[in-house]
Amino acid sequence: MIKNRRHTLSVKIGNIFVGRGHPIVIQSMTNTPTENIPATIKQIKELIRAGSEMVRITIKDAKAAEAAIIIIQKLRQQKIPTPMIGDFHYNGHILLQQFPLLAQLLDKYRINPGNVGKGHQREDNFSSIIKIAIKYNKPVRIGVNGGSLDEELFLKLKKKYSKKKNFKDLKSIWHEALIESALQSAQYAEKLGLAQNKIILSVKTSDLQDLITVNEKLAKRCLYPFHLGLTEAGSGVEGISASASALGILLQQGIGDTIRVSLTPQPKVSRAREVEVCRAVVQSLGFRHFSPKVTSCPGCGRTKSDKFISLTENVKFYIKKNMPKWQKKFPGVEKMRVAIMGCIVNGPGESKHADIGISLPGSSDKGEALVFTKGTLLAQIQQKNLKKQFLRLLEKYIKKTFSNEN
Ligand code: SF4
């Protein structure tokens, strides 16, 4: 639990609670054509295995709607309870009406108020979706996106703030339009009869500073839980850094209840990368623990060999491989800290702060590697078979410290 979490309402989505101090929920979205049922199921499972606690799928037409029904039924037959979210744009009101089984099977509907129609049609289409959500007792996410903001609302605000006495620059008007679009839609949904605790809000932009500004302002104006994410964050290091910075800044202020990282796919990189980034962000901030943390130094001119690099990789691999088994046998192991350091400058100190750490001898140091547990020297190990010896000590430490039988 985060002490400073913004006090929000709590929304139940399938078997998961979002908001009001519940752990930050990790979610993701498939990028397979939904009508390709085997590929979509395969990717959903991959995302879940990586740690996605909710999965969103695109429902763009009747074919996708029919496929989504089969996909959710198959997942449930296989006893996979992960909440499934339907992503609707332009025709959600038609598809949810046309496919009542889909409306029933989905755990949440995502509505983009900028993409439900124009003028009176907008109200009618939006209210159709909300009425279906009420009928099937489903929560909705009102998800505003900078790239598809309700143009009519923006122009209305632009006109309002063009006068000298209440003049606002275009950027501020745009921010206000994003916030108003979310709030007005939520208020209208409530007016139609949707319970307050069935609404999640999101306002996403592709610019980090815009995202922070609008979410900070929005957080002061309502109690709905927030879905956070930098939209269209890009790919690779840039996308990951921008997403992590944006999420980190907001989550640290207690803003954000469920998160998604939107990365442009890269060749040979799994879609599950976005889930890994979400988990790493939440764990780096210390809000949730999914897997033991490995602290390792970057190496420098004092490093004797690349042994600490290979040892770091080996230990990370060993942890990843064993975590499914350890989680069941050794509760609390996910909070463990392991340090792998290249020399005695920071090695012993950092190793002492970890549950178990190793300080390798640097280029000016003689002798053996030092292994510490909870600040106490446990062993001095020879360079030969270093990996094997350290992994053995690690396993022994885990058994002794986290075993159920202790
Ligand atoms: S611990 Fe030693 S090897 Fe690692 S970065 Fe620091 S000084 Fe360099």
Question: What pLDDT is stored for residue 1 in this prediction?
Answer: 45
In a domain, 152, yes or no: yes
Domain boundary residue, one of 228, 259, 284: 284
Q: How far does the centroid of ligand 1 lie from the alpha carbon of residue 344, in Å?
A: 7
Domain boundary residue, one of 284, 311, 326: 284
Whether 252 and 358 map to the same domain: the answer is: no
Nearest atom of ligand 1 to the alpha carbon of 344: 2
Nearest atom of ligand 1 to the alpha carbon of 298: 5
Q: How far does the centroid of ligand 1 lie from the alpha carbon of residue 365, in Å?
A: 12
In a domain, 304, yes or no: yes
Ligand 1 mutation target, pool 300, 309, 351, most atoms within 8 A of CB: 300
Whether 257 and 367 map to the same domain: the answer is: no
Is the pLDDT at 305 greater than 90? The verdict is no
Distance of CA 220 to the CA centre of its chain: 22
Q: Which domain holds residue 356?
A: 293-402
Instruction: List, in order, residues 6 or more apart from 311 with CB less than 8 Å away.
Output: 340, 358, 360, 386, 387, 390
Ligand 1 mutation target, pool 296, 303, 370, most atoms within 8 A of CB: 303
In a domain, 127, yes or no: yes
Q: CA 5, CA 256: separation in Å to the nearest integer?
A: 8
Computed over every residue of the chain, the mean pLDDT equals 94
Nearest atom of ligand 1 to the alpha carbon of 301: 8
Whether 280 and 312 map to the same domain: the answer is: no
In a domain, 4, yes or no: no
Percent of the residues in the chain that have a pLDDT greater than 90, as a whole number? 84
Structure tokens at 73: 């039924």
Contact (CB, 8 A) for 311 and 387? yes
Question: What pLDDT is stored for residue 300 in this prediction?
Answer: 92
Is the pLDDT at 70 greater than 70? The verdict is yes
Whether 343 and 215 map to the same domain: the answer is: no
Report the residue count for the chain. Answer: 406
In a domain, 394, yes or no: yes
37-50 and 62-77 are packed helices; what angle lies between their axes, rounded to 10 degrees?
A: 50
Whether 67 and 184 map to the same domain: the answer is: yes
In a domain, 190, yes or no: yes
Global pTM reads 0.93
Contact (CB, 8 A) for 243 and 229? yes
Nearest atom of ligand 1 to the alpha carbon of 297: 4
When pLDDT is averaged across residues 259-281 and rounded to a whole number, the result is 95
Whether 176 and 68 map to the same domain: the answer is: yes
Whether 142 and 165 map to the same domain: the answer is: yes
Is the pLDDT at 86 greater than 90? The verdict is yes
Structure tokens at 143: 């998800």
Q: CA 220, CA 204: separation in Å to the nearest integer?
A: 17
Q: How far does the centroid of ligand 1 lie from the alpha carbon of residue 290, in Å?
A: 27
Give the domain CATH number at 325: 3.30.413.10
Q: How far does the centroid of ligand 1 lie from the alpha carbon of residue 337, in Å?
A: 18
Nearest atom of ligand 1 to the alpha carbon of 350: 1
Domain boundary residue, one of 229, 254, 284: 284
When pLDDT is averaged across residues 172-189 and rounded to a whole number, the result is 96
Whether 115 and 260 map to the same domain: the answer is: yes
In a domain, 156, yes or no: yes
Give the domain CATH number at 198: 3.20.20.20
Whether 227 and 330 map to the same domain: the answer is: no
Whether 200 and 346 map to the same domain: the answer is: no
Whether 85 and 36 map to the same domain: the answer is: yes
Question: At CA 122, angle to CA 117 and CA 127, rounded to 5?
Answer: 125
In a domain, 279, yes or no: yes
Terminal CA-to-CA distance of the chain, rounded, Å? Answer: 26
Ligand 1 mutation target, pool 296, 309, 345, 353, most atoms within 8 A of CB: 345
Contact (CB, 8 A) for 183 and 218? yes
Nearest atom of ligand 1 to the alpha carbon of 303: 3
Q: CA 232, CA 234: separation in Å to the nearest integer?
A: 6
Total number of domains in the chain: 2
Whether 358 and 376 map to the same domain: the answer is: yes
Is the pLDDT at 119 greater than 90? The verdict is no
Per-residue model confidence as pLDDT tens digits over 312-367: 999 999 999 999 999 999 999 999 999 999 998 998 899 888 999 999 998 877 78
What residues line ligand 1, using a CB cutoff of 6 Å?
297-300, 302-303, 341-343, 345-347, 362
